[in-house]
């Protein structure tokens, strides 16, 4: 695989380094959630933090100093409410200063809003937010690459909840029909919607079979196991192959903060100063537990 060929300096990170970066991303997320007065979609940010880390620090062939390079991999955030997680991951990758996010998030005229906007924030590939819109956009970008004979990939991150939208499956069908092996979807399978758990009101299972039935190459990983995520990226089919790939990442909404994990109350919210301390302690504890 030719990832990181656009990177200015440095070889790909090791799994251990990536874990550290994911911890830093979660810490920064919690900090924002504790200092910003409005609600942050912290549950779905934390479930996707390892995926974002694996993509921005390992999988995506991008150069933060050359954001319009036609050979770059494209990344489409379909679950647009995880924008802040993407902003911070991008900042950590060098796209823009982290301070700009912390200082202006959600404020008047900020480039960093609840859902990403390409017009306001160059470097972001597209404007998203309404669920079910990202995969069709990614299909268009993958077709464009095919049309020009370019050999980059198009990555798209979806939430499992949003795959209730019919447009996702329209795009899934189009991707298979047009043999877009250069398209890779990651699904953050945190098994929670905003107001219910998966299977309570909406039956998703047999979930991988649904993608397989649409003709996709299906890879199942633990979305919090960095080695697993890196392995999935390493084993992606060739860019010029014919089947699109979906990496279904089993995750936990609120991952890393015990009182947020699998808690419907933490789809979105704001931590006060006291709760921020509590959340940071929980994050530290969860890391200690993992390293044992």
Partner 1 sequence: MPVTFTFGEMLSARSVIGSTLAELGDEHENLWVLTPDIGATLVEFRDKYPQRFLDVGLAEQACVGIAAGLAYDGNIPVVSGMLPFLSMRALEQVRSDVCYPNLPVKIIGTHGGLVGNGGSTHYAVEDLALMCALTNMTVTSIGDPLMVGEIIRQSMTMQGPIYIRLAVGKKDRVLYEPGQHDVRIGKGIVAREGTDATIFTHGTVVAQALDAAEELAKDGHSVRVVDMFTLKPIDEELISRCAVETNGRFVVVEDHLAYGGLASRVADVVADRNIHLSAFERLGIPQVYAGFGDDEELRNKHGYGLEATIAATRRAIAAQS
Span of 85-93, 124-132, 222-230, 257-265 interacting with partner 1 by CB under 8 A = 124-132
Of 135 and 279, which CB lies nearer to partner 1 in the complex structure?
Answer: 135
Note whether 60 binds partner 1 by CB under 8 A: no
CB of 141 to partner 1, least distance (A): 5
Tokens 């219910």 found at: 196
CB of 188 to partner 1, least distance (A): 20
Measured between alpha carbons, how far apart are the two ends of the chain, in Å? 33
Note whether 129 binds partner 1 by CB under 8 A: yes
Q: Select from 8, 108, 109, 147 the one that contacts partner 1 (CB under 8 A).
A: 147
Beta strands 217-222 and 154-159: pairing type?
unpaired
Angstrom CA distances, 207 to 73, 77, 199, 203, stand at: 27, 21, 11, 9
CB of 122 to partner 1, least distance (A): 12
Note whether 6 binds partner 1 by CB under 8 A: no
Of 117 and 227, which CB lies nearer to partner 1 in the complex structure?
Answer: 117
Angstrom CA distances, 32 to 53, 116, 188, 238, stand at: 18, 16, 21, 38
CB of 166 to partner 1, least distance (A): 7
DSSP string, 247-267: EEEE--TTTT-TTTTT-GGGS
CB of 189 to partner 1, least distance (A): 22
Of 124 and 271, which CB lies nearer to partner 1 in the complex structure?
Answer: 124
Q: Select from 108, 119, 203, 292 the one that contacts partner 1 (CB under 8 A).
A: 119
How many angstroms separate the CA atoms of 261 and 252, rounded? 6
C-beta separation of 231 from 5 below 8 A: no
Note whether 69 binds partner 1 by CB under 8 A: no
How many angstroms separate the CA atoms of 158 and 133, rounded? 10
Q: Select from 167, 220, 270, 286 the one that contacts partner 1 (CB under 8 A).
A: 167
Phi, psi dihedrals of residue 50, rounded to the nearest 5°: -70, -35
Listed residue (20, 106, 88) closest to 52, CA to CA: 88
Q: Select from 5, 144, 212, 222 the one that contacts partner 1 (CB under 8 A).
A: 144
Token output for 116? 């990403």
Instruction: Give the count of residues interacting with partner 1 (CB under 8 A).
Output: 33
Angstrom CA distances, 96 to 88, 93, 253, stand at: 9, 8, 27
* Span 75-104, contacts to partner 1 by CB under 8 A: 76
Span of 13-21, 129-137, 220-228, 276-284 interacting with partner 1 by CB under 8 A = 129-137
Note whether 233 binds partner 1 by CB under 8 A: no
Note whether 140 binds partner 1 by CB under 8 A: yes
The length of the chain, given as a count of residues: 292
Peptide bond connecting 219 to the previous residue in cis, omega within 30 degrees of 0 = no
C-beta separation of 185 from 152 below 8 A: no
Listed residue (1, 23, 143, 9) closest to 74, CA to CA: 143
CB of 211 to partner 1, least distance (A): 16
Note whether 136 binds partner 1 by CB under 8 A: yes
Q: Footprint of partner 1 on this chain (CB under 8 A)?
A: 74, 76, 117-119, 125-127, 129-130, 132-133, 135-147, 166-167, 170-171, 173-174, 177-178
């Amino acid at each position: 695989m030719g990832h990181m060929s656009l990177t200015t300096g440095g070889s790909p990170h090791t799994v251990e380094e990536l874990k550290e970066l994911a911890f830093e991303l979660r810490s920064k997320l919690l900090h924002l959630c504790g200092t910003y007065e409005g609600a942050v979609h912290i549950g779905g940010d934390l479930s996707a933090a390892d995926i974002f880390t694996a993509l921005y620090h390992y999988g995506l062939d991008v150069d933060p100093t050359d954001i319009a390079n036609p050979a770059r991999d494209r990344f489409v955030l379909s679950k647009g409410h995880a924008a802040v997680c993407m902003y911070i991951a991008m900042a950590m990758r060098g796209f823009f200063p982290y301070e700009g996010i912390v200082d202006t998030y959600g404020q008047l005229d900020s480039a960093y809003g609840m859902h990403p906007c390409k017009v306001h924030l160059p470097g972001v590939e597209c404007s998203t937010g309404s669920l079910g819109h990202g995969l069709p956009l990614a299909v268009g970008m993958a077709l464009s690459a095919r049309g020009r004979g370019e050999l980059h990939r198009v990555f798209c991150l979806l939430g499992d909840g949003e795959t209730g939208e019919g447009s996702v499956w329209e795009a899934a069908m189009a991707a298979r029909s047009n043999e877009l092996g250069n398209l890779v979807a990651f699904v953050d399978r945190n098994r929670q919607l905003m107001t219910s758990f998966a299977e309570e009101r909406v039956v998703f299972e047999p979930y991988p079979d649904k993608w397989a039935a649409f003709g996709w190459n299906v890879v199942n990983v633990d979305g919090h196991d960095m080695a697993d995520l890196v392995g999935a990226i390493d084993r992606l089919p060739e860019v010029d192959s014919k089947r699109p790939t979906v990496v279904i990442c089993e995750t936990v909404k609120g991952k890393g903060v015990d009182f947020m994990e699998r808690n419907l109350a933490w789809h979105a919210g704001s931590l006060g100063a006291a709760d921020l301390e509590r959340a940071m302690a929980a994050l530290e504890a969860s890391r200690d537990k993992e390293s044992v």
